Amino acid sequence: MTFSKLYLQSGRDEAVRRFHPWVFSRAISRYEGDLNDGDVVEVFDSKKNYLATGHYHDGSIAVRIFSFGATAGGPVTPDLPYWTQKLSRIRAIRQAIITNGQSAGPTDCYRLVHGEGDGCTGLIVDIYNGVAVVQAHSIGMHRERDLITEALKAVFGDELKAVYDKSADTLPDEYGATVTNGYLFGRTPVPHPVQENGNTFLVDWITGQKTGFFLDQRDNRALLGLFAQGKKVLNAFCYSGGFSVYALKAGASSVHSVDVSQKAIDLTNQNIKANFGEQEERHESFADDVMHYLKAHDHQYDVVVLDPPAFAKSLSARHRAVQGYKRLNAEGFRRVAKGGILFTFSCSQVVDRELFYNTIVAAAIEAGRQVRVLHHLSQPADHPVSLFHPEGGYLKGLVLWVE
């Protein structure tokens, strides 16, 4: 099998040699072959030395690399044996991660493939108790979906119940408009029960956000439990109530879950019921805008969780996002009782750790609170970040002791 070739300008190959997985269009000198969006392309330097293989797209990021010559040994063919071997290696790492975390309770949901962090640029695969939910962020990876499904079947064997493709909303607009989400293999009713550290959650990958559940907060939810016993807890932007379940399991005296979406509140109530039965008098849920709730009530909480959706998805929106984080956290500080704890997060990739930290400092000053940092938080080990692609470290969080 032969693929089109792409040659970089002289002196513009250093990033690829340092294993950065993106080739920008301005670095390209010329092409050989008829290139279309989603095609597999081999990347060479100006002296015709092979560097990498990836998927082409006519845009600022012209190639998303999934194999580097220095590690693969030469050009690769992304066929079934290639994907099977690659996913098998990744799964072995995940098994070690999940096994090491079993002391907190059984876990059967995790991220199997995390894009650039696993050398699979443009691909996300989440595992939910035997069901793989695939999400492609590039046309090339979406075109590999049948091979990836067969590779998943080979790697997991009888453990794999179904594979669901949820890529329609994450692909480039014009191509995504032609895509329909659906099962690639098998079929399983939703909501589908999973276990995370011994807690039960009901996951709906068909109508839920992202792939159905925010797996990236697993370790941070567990950490919350260490602070929640006997405490009054506010879980803002609760979505499906993950932090609420962990707080109640840890013995919180009361938990309030707030989200502007009634659908999210329904999910939260379902998960509370799945873990505690019909009656859990310690829990109340509120379908309300979080800022409105924080300003409208004078409740003081021992632990407050602020886990908003991304306030900025582009550099042009960053300033407005920073102002939003500042206002939100200033109100959050005002709701924390003296000697209490604030868990605060940002999943906006364009807001880096330093900017997020400085924004929280500004919010604390505005609220007039003295604050100590207890923990710097991030995404868990099944959401790895390539050392050469720091952009993959999107989740930032702080645990703060508020005086």
Q: Which residues, 6+ apart, have CB-to-CB distance to 248 below 8 Å?
A: 255, 272, 275, 276, 280, 282, 283
| Calpha distance 259→243 (Å, rounded) | 13
Query: Annotated catalytic residue: which of 109, 120, 238, 347?
Result: 347
Burial class (CB in 10 A: 0-12, 13-18, 19+), 100: exposed
C-alpha 315 chain-centroid distance: 19
Tallying the residues shown for the chain, one arrives at 403
Burial 48-79 (b: 16+ CB within 10 A, else e): eebbbbbbbbeeeebbbbbbbbeeeeebbebe
CB 104 within 8 Å of CB 88: no
Half-sphere exposure for 310 (CA within 13 Å, toward CB)? 17
Sheet holding 254-259, edge to edge: 283-287, 254-259, 232-236, 301-306, 336-346, 396-402, 371-377
- Look up residue 182 and give its DSSP letter: E
Name the token pair of 52. Answer: 């990498």
Name the token pair of 293. Answer: 């709730």
Strands (E), 262-385: 283-287, 301-306, 336-346, 371-377
Question: Among this protein's residues, is 347 annotated catalytic?
Answer: yes
- Look up residue 309 and give its DSSP letter: P
Active site positions, annotated: 347
